[in-house]
Amino acid sequence: NLKLIKTPKVDFPSDFEQYDPKEDNSFSATPSGFTGNKKIEYVVIPRHNGKYEIPPVSLTYFDLQSNTYKTLHTEGYTVNVAKGTANSSSATVYNGVDKEQVEQIASDIQYIKTGNLHIRPKVEACAGTLTFWLFLAIPLFVAILLGIIFNKKAKENANIALMRNKKANKVAKKRLKTAEKYLNASQKELFYDEMLSAIWLYISDKLNIPLSSLNKDNAADELRRKGVADDLVSDTIKMLTDCEYERYAFGADTRGAMDKIYNTAITIIERIENSIKR
C-alpha cells in the first residue's frame, strides 16, 4: 500500500542542518490496480565548505508478481560546497516548493546591553519571618510531591514494550471506530486503509515488532511463540490477506465483504487479547 510507505531516512553529514522533509502524494484506484506516486523533498543547509558524501538510500517493498520483498537502492552522491563570500555568512535563505523560508542567523550572541538599565535599589530581605518560611516550605513540599509522582510515572513508562502491549487493544478499538464510520458511509477505499492500519499497528504493538520490520511471516512466528493457537494465527493472516484483496477487488457485494472483514477483525483481536498473557 503506497500510503503506508515511510519516508526513507537519508544519513546526511553532521555539518548539514536538516529540516522536516516535504511529501507530495498523488494516488488513485483504477480497475487495473492502485497507482500513483510519492514525491519527497529533503531540505538541508551545509554549514561549512568542503566535500561531503551522501550515502545511498534504500527502499523495501513487496513485489506482487514474485510474492517476495525487494529492496531498491539509489546511488551515492558527492557534494562539493564552495566557500562563500565574506557577506554570505550573514544569512542563508531557502525557498521550497511551498515557498517557506529557512533563515540562518549570522550571530547567536548579542552585544551586552548599554545605556539606561533601570537599576532598582535592593529590597530588604524578609529572612526569619513567617512569610519567608512559608515561601521556603511550600515549593519544597510541591517539589517532593512532584518528584514522587514523576518517579512513579517513570517506573511505569520504563518498559516501553509493556506500555505498547497494554495500549495495543485500546488503540486498535479507536481506529476500528474510525473504520466503522467509513463502513457506514460505504467509503470502501478509506475503510480498508483504516482497517489495514489498525490491524498492522495492533500486531506491531502487541508483539513489540517495529512496523517497518513487520510482515506476515514474522508476525505468525511471534504469535505462535507467545502461545497463540495455530488456527488463530492462520485466521489472523487470512484476515490480512482478505483485507488486502478486497481493497482492490470489484464486486457487487462490496458492503457484505466490508461487514465481514470488520466483524472478523474485532473477533480476532479479542481472541488474541485472551490468548496472550500480559
Mean pLDDT of 165-186: 84
Mean pLDDT of 167-189: 85
Identify the band that residue 43 occupies on the pLDDT scale cut at 50, 70 and 90: confident
Q: Which fold has domain 160-275?
A: Four Helix Bundle (Hemerythrin (Met), subunit A) (1.20.120)
Q: Which of 22, 70, 71, 26 has its CA nearest to residue 43?
A: 22
Grid look-up 529540516 returns: 19
Amino acid identity of 49? N
Phi, psi of 132, deg, nearest 5 = -60, -50
Q: Tell which wins on pLDDT, 90 or 148.
A: 148
Phi, psi of 116, deg, nearest 5 = -75, 110
Identify the band that residue 97 occupies on the pLDDT scale cut at 50, 70 and 90: very low
Cα 73-75-78 angle, rounded to 5 deg: 145
pTM of the model: 0.41
Q: Parse the chain into domains and list their residue ranges.
A: 2-102, 160-275
- What pLDDT is recorded for position 104? 45
- What pLDDT is recorded for position 158? 56
10 Å CB burial of residue 84 (0-12, 13-18, 19+) is exposed
For residue range 221-256, what is the model confidence (pLDDT) as tens digits?
989 988 889 999 999 999 889 888 887 777 656 888
Cα 198 to Cα 169: distance, rounded to the nearest angstrom = 10
Does residue 44 carry a pLDDT above 80?
yes
Is beta strand 101-103 parallel, antiparallel or unpaired with respect to 93-95? antiparallel
**Cβ-Cβ contacts under 8 Å for 133 (sequence gap 6 or more):** none
Identify the band that residue 106 occupies on the pLDDT scale cut at 50, 70 and 90: very low
